[in-house]
Structure 1
Amino acid sequence: MVKQKLIVAKAKKGKPIRQVAAIPFRLDAEGKVEVLLITSNTTKRFIVPKGWPMKGKSGKKTAAIEAREEAGVSGKMLKTPLGTYDYWKRLKTRFVKIRVTVHMLKVEEVLADWEESAKRHRAWLSPEDAALLVDEPELGTLVRSIDFKGVAAAA
Structure 2
Amino acid sequence: MKNNALALGLMAALGFSTTALAGGAAQSIHVYKSPTCGCCSDWIDHLEENGFRVNATDTNNMGRIKANAGLIAGLGSCHTAFVGDYVIEGHVPADDIKRLISEAPQAKGLSVPGMPIGSPGMEMGDRKDHYNVILFNEAGQTRIFSRYN
**TM-score of the superposed pair, with normalisation by structure 1:** 0.27
Q: Which structure features the higher share of strand residues? A: 1
Give the structure with higher Rg (CA).
Answer: 1
**TM-score of the superposed pair, with normalisation by structure 2:** 0.28
